[in-house]
Structure 1
Amino acid sequence: MAKNAEVESSYSGRIRATKIFRTIICVLLCIISIFPFYLMIINSTLDSITIKAGVHLLPGSFAQLGENFTNLMKKAEGVGTSLWGAMLHSAIISVPATILTVYCSTLTAYGLTVYNFKLKNAAHTFIMAIMMIPAQVSIIGFMQFMMKINLYDSYWPLIIPAAASPATYYFMKQYMATGLSLEIIEAARIDGSGEFSTFNKIALPLMKPAMATQAIFAFITSWNNLYTPSMMLTDTAKKTLPMFIMALRSEQFRQDYGVIYLGLFLTVLPIFIVYFTLSKYIIAGVALGGVKE
């Protein structure tokens, strides 16, 4: 008995040491991930000379933050649109594009998961093949097509194509393979529920964690997109936020590091808001999955 107790004690000690080691690693990884953002926020409250002097962990004064903001607004006057206008333009594109990406990709994955038809595998293979084609290959033809239908230099070419997202479709299909019970769908059909009603009222609520994850990725992708808007938008009054930041990249702007960090902070601020808003659904989904298992 004493020997068994000694073995159990040794085993418990190893488990405790493993948990402590994992916790330390997770904390270190967390710090490494958060530290660049922390420095960005701190540097946005400092002047350029202080930033050049070395790394600072304490924030500067509100007066310096206000001065950096004033200088940012002054430098934005020659761009053709204001900072707030550029953020609004990015939001006009990113919000509907994110909704289309998540909803249409989930609907496509639902159709190829729930229904059985002859071309099911071929459709899946075709969607996966589209992932192999870079956007740069098709951009010229896409621009010509938009010109022919009079949608060039508008926001529509940046919103409508978001409905076709092979990467989001693939993620949702893999999630449905384990997270969506076909028995529930069949029961809803037996009760007289229509196909779209079943999808919207039964399937979508079950997909919330996966949809929240993909909504974060889709919003970040659309918000930070520079290549396609630069090709599609020629009117300076329609500049998105990445285009606005690029337009400010003069030699004088590069030297004012406080203004640079403040501009970067304002750029990623909406991304933080979206992430913290949707992260609760991800956490809830993980907790629900742990209870089921």
Structure 2
Amino acid sequence: MIETNKTLSTEFKSKPVSLQPKPKGGKDRIIKGILYIGMTVLAIVCFVPFLMMLVNATRSNEAILTGFTLVPGNALLENYQTMMDYVNVWTGFKNSLFISVLVTILTGYFSALTAYGFAFYTFKGKNFLFVFMLVMMMVPGQLGLIGFYELSKTLGILDTYIPLIVPAVASPFVVFFLRQYILTTLHPSLIEAARIDGASEFKIFHIVAIPIMMPAIATMSIFTFIGSWNNYIMPLVLIFSPEKYTLPVLMGFLKGSQVAQNLGSMYLGIAISVVPIMIAFLFLSKYIINSISAGAIKE
């Protein structure tokens, strides 16, 4: 028996087990190739309308009516001048950028603070407030437009940016999303450890909770920025001064003016309004990918 065990031990040592992965077969390569081709086609289909918009912004109205092409034209300056003769797009661009950036920053911070409170604090009426918040998610904001207009009129904040910024900060969906995220990523033991070390509650939130929540905050910031940038009804109802109009409102006026007869100017205005959304998405999506490891917790 001893000699048999020695023989098996010698054979096991002479034939080490290979830990290298087995080479993939041709079937896996075919499936991967089909997936790559499908994703490439899908990316092209999504990119072509955006490219058409940029190309048509450089073409004259007659050239656009002749048909579709991906070759840029030479009427960019003419289209720009025609658009600026009726609407100062850059004033609306500045106003929309100011409102959207402020709403995005305030919503991200205060929603994270609210979600942190709902997740790790116990107080009277907590469940009722959370259920009420879920119910408010199901109510369209347009239903309260008339009441909100009367309230803004009573408070004397019409024709200002206050009713466009302050109510947008209280976003039930963002709070709900961040609460669900932090419950799965932030372990209560980290908060207890910080309290034992003598950190205050606000310091724990800023030093411990915020870095872990940053991927979720960045994700919600994309939707918050896009929603605020594309907001059309609220500025149209609450803002009266032309110099305070946001870009979507100006685009609506541009559509009803003589500029609508020049399709190149319309495409140029739309292209200007879309560029910040693309930049915000590219920046924040990269930030999400780089920060996703910050939410990992090992027990």
Structure 1 partner of 2:30: 17
Q: Given residue 168 of structure 1, which amino acid in structure 2 is its aligned partner? A: V
- How far apart are 1:180 and its partner, in Å? 2.2
1:119 maps onto 2:132 in alignment: no
Cα distance in 2 between the residues matched to 1:60 and 1:183 = 62
- How far apart are 1:9 and its partner, in Å? 8.4
Query: Unaligned 5+ residue runs, structure 2?
Result: 1-20
1:189 maps onto 2:183 in alignment: no
Q: Rg bigger for which structure?
A: 2
Cα distance in 1 between the residues matched to 2:195 and 2:171 = 28
Structure 1 partner of 2:58: 45
Counterparts of 1:1-293 in structure 2, within 5 Å, are: 12-61=25-74, 64-76=75-87, 82-250=88-256, 252-286=258-292
Cα distance in 1 between the residues matched to 2:272 and 2:189 = 47
Cα 1:241–1:251 change in 2 (3 A) is: closer
Q: CA RMSD in A?
A: 2.1
Q: Secondary structure at the match of 1:57?
A: coil
- How far apart are 1:277 and its partner, in Å? 2.3
Aligned residues: 278
Q: Given residue 259 of structure 2, which amino acid in structure 1 is its aligned partner? A: F
Where does structure 1 differ by over 4 angstroms across 4 or more consecutive aligned residues? 8-11, 286-292
Q: Given residue 126 of structure 1, which amino acid in structure 2 is its aligned partner? A: F
- How far apart are 1:234 and its partner, in Å? 1.5
- How far apart are 1:290 and its partner, in Å? 9.0
Q: Given residue 69 of structure 1, which amino acid in structure 2 is its aligned partner? A: Y
Cα distance in 2 between the residues matched to 1:75 and 1:230 = 18
Moved more, 178-187 or 98-107: 178-187
Q: Given residue 232 of structure 2, which amino acid in structure 1 is its aligned partner? A: L
CA deviation profile, 1:267-288 (whole Å, cap 9, x unmatched): 1111122222222211113466
Query: Unaligned 5+ residue runs, structure 1?
Result: 1-7, 77-81
Cα distance in 1 between the residues matched to 2:296 and 2:72 = 40
Cα distance in 1 between the residues matched to 2:72 and 2:35 = 31
Cα distance in 2 between the residues matched to 1:259 and 1:249 = 10
- How far apart are 1:168 and its partner, in Å? 1.1
Cα distance in 1 between the residues matched to 2:41 and 2:101 = 34
Cα 1:289–1:186 change in 2 (3 A) is: closer
- Residues 82, 259 of structure 2: 8 Å contact kept: no
Cα distance in 1 between the residues matched to 2:43 and 2:188 = 38
Q: TM-score, normalised by structure 2?
A: 0.86
Q: Secondary structure at the match of 2:159?
A: coil
- Residues 116, 182 of structure 2: 8 Å contact kept: yes
- How far apart are 1:101 and its partner, in Å? 1.3
Cα 1:34–1:215 change in 2 (3 A) is: same
Cα distance in 2 between the residues matched to 1:158 and 1:235 = 14
- How far apart are 1:167 and its partner, in Å? 1.3
CA deviation profile, 1:150-202 (whole Å, cap 9, x unmatched): 11111100000112101111221222122223222221111111111111122
Q: TM-score, normalised by structure 1?
A: 0.88
Q: Given residue 59 of structure 1, which amino acid in structure 2 is its aligned partner? A: P
Q: Secondary structure at the match of 1:45?
A: coil
